[in-house]
Amino acid sequence: MGRLREHKGAILALLERRRASARLLEVAATWPADWRELWDERAGIAEYDGGLSRPEAEEAAFHWLLAELMGEVGINYSPGGIPTARLLGVE
């Protein structure tokens, strides 16, 4: 039981990342095809060229896409400035 308590924070963080990752896939399925293609392409680059796991790459691509879309309407968004779980309502 002591080891579980010792790693509680890491375990909770992992579970939150998994929930956010699953929610991101649900949300991405509702996007227009062109957004989905950009996101998937960017995630592939982050995964294969950046050495990220697929969930990490998808999350990074989500923030990149969000920054691009917001920039088109004049809103400055720093990728990663808001936690993914919060943006997706997972918290």
Question: Per-residue pLDDT tens for 5-60?
Answer: 787 877 766 677 778 788 888 888 888 999 999 999 999 999 999 999 999 999 89
pTM of the complete model beyond 0.95? no
Report the distance separating Cα 16 and Cα 7, nearest Å: 14
Q: Which domain holds residue 51?
A: 2-87
pLDDT of the residue at 50: 93
pLDDT of the residue at 1: 67
pLDDT of the residue at 13: 67
Number of domains in the chain: 1
pLDDT of the residue at 91: 66
Question: Per-residue pLDDT tens for 68-87?
Answer: 888 889 988 887 777 877 87
Instruction: Tell me which residue has tokens 């879309």.
Output: 69
